[in-house]
Structures are given as C-alpha cells and as structure tokens.
C-alpha cells in the first residue's frame, strides 16, 4: 500500500475518468447510429413502398 501515493491516485483517477468519457462517447455514437438506422428503415418501409420491403402496418 506504500506505493499508492497521492500523485499516483490522482493519475489513476485521471485515466479512469478518461476511459469513462471514452466509453460514454462510443455508447452515444452507437445509440445515434441505431436511431438513424431506425429512422431510415421507417422512411423506406412507410414512404417509398418498395416492393421488396414488407409493408409495416
């Protein structure tokens, strides 16, 4: 436990927060891409009425 100094703890906290922000960025990017694909799929299915797409509702 002697190697855990105040400077080392602050450095570990910084890297932990950096990883948390990076994870939240990629998760929000995934959700944005998911919502975009849902909107595009809904537009194609309901508004264009392509013959090879199933009719929804």
Instruction: Note the pLDDT tens digit of each residue in 9-54.
Output: 777 777 778 888 899 999 999 999 999 999 998 888 777 776 665 5
Q: Is the pLDDT score of 3 beyond 90?
A: no
- Of the pLDDT bands very low, low, confident and very high (cuts 50, 70, 90), residue 1 is very low
Predicted model pTM: 0.59
Look up residue 46 and give its two tokens: 């309901």
The per-residue b/e assignment along 21-53, b for 16 or more CB within 10 angstroms, e otherwise, is eeeeeeeeeeeeeeeeeeeeeeeeeeeeeeeee
User: What is the residue whose two structure tokens read 């948390």?
Assistant: 20
């Amino acid at each position: 436990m002697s190697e855990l100094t105040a400077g080392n703890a602050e450095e570990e906290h910084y890297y932990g927060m950096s990883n948390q922000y990076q994870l939240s960025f990629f998760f929000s990017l995934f959700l944005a891409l998911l919502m975009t694909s849902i909107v595009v799929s809904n537009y194609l299915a309901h508004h264009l009425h392509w013959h090879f797409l199933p009719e929804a509702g």
